[in-house]
Amino acid sequence: MDPEMDTQLKIGFIGAGNMAFGIAKGILSGNALPVNVSVSAPSSRNLGRFQELGIAVTHSNIEVVCGSDVVFVAVKPHLIPLVLNEISQHVTDRHTIVSVAAGVTLATLEELLPENSVVIRLMPNLPCMVQEGALLFARGTHAKPDDGALLRSLLHRCGLVEEGPETWIDIHTGLSGSGVAFVYLFAEALAEGAVKMGMPSALAQSIASQTVLGAGRLLRDSGKHPAQLRSDVCTPGGTTIYGLHTLEQGGMRATTMSAVESATERARELGRKSAAGSRK
């Protein structure tokens, strides 16, 4: 994708929550210019931080759509029918509509928008806020490979950006959207273990967060399988293998797999509900 194109693209956000803000920050750290970005939300509560980035703010969703080529719809899933009904008559063939609403299917989005609309479903996660996100997108019926390439180009500074079939989106939600919270729970437990053994809480939290960060970066950048890295840390009869044995006794591996499964199933269930709701 030509980076020059990103500088001329007009980008709009409907919704001003954390996901919209994280994506906006990532886009602006790439080639997009603040003057070409706008955001709308019903209240001014979250708009101040966008203004600090030099982004134009408004309460009008229609204003954002009319002034944009790419529109990120980043509202709560139950608001999607309301918002798309409001903007649909202003959506033209120049628009790419990118939905960030969890559980809302491409079929539902396409049903609520004009025929032949270019729609992409995107699932980011919270670390987009610090440009370390994991983002997966699926193209709708009328979105071409070029539309996917354009989105990749826009989002490349947000973190890892991958494309896949829509069936993977719910799995990605369970793995990466919810998985972030699983990692926080683990980090909290690591720190509490250290507190139990006599380390001050603030220091334990600081070391736990750095441990999770360092382990994650090494895993990503080394290209090694997690089992290989885990094995590298284990010395025969050493501290790590004793700790790992305790985690295995607690069923950590099976419990984590089940947690991803539960979160994925819930995402699928929400998708079925959203599809049923849009047909009413």
pLDDT in tens, 58-116: 999 999 999 999 999 999 988 999 999 999 999 999 999 999 998 899 999 999 999 99
**Longest Cα separation, the chain:** 68
pLDDT score for 143: 96
Residue 16 assigned as binding residue: yes
Residue 275 assigned as binding residue: no
| Domains of the chain, each with CATH number or no CATH | 3-168 (3.40.50.720), 179-262 (1.10.3730.10)
CA distance 267 to 204: 34
The pLDDT of 167-181, averaged and rounded, is 95
pLDDT score for 1: 46
pTM exceeding the 0.75 threshold for the entire prediction: yes
Tell the residue number behind the tokens 């002034």, with chain if given.
67
User: What average pLDDT is seen over the chain?
Assistant: 93
Residue 18 assigned as binding residue: yes
Residue 54 assigned as binding residue: no
- List, as own/partner pairs, every contact residues 7-10 make where C-beta atoms lie below 8 angstroms and the sequence separation is at least 24, other chains included: 7/31, 7/32, 7/33, 7/36, 8/36, 9/36, 9/69, 9/70, 9/150, 9/154, 10/36, 10/37, 10/38, 10/67, 10/68, 10/69, 10/70
Residue 124 assigned as binding residue: no
Structure tokens belonging to residue 18:
């954390």
Residue 19 assigned as binding residue: yes
Residue 76 assigned as binding residue: yes
pLDDT score for 103: 85
* Residue 274: band (very low, low, confident or very high) from pLDDT cuts 50, 70, 90: confident
Residue 226 assigned as binding residue: no
pLDDT score for 280: 60
Q: Lay out the sheet containing 96-99: strands in order across.
A: 56-58, 37-40, 11-14, 70-73, 96-99, 118-123, 133-139, 159-163
Question: Are 159 and 180 spatial neighbours (Cβ–Cβ below 8 Å)?
Answer: no
pLDDT score for 273: 78
Strands 118-123 and 133-139: antiparallel
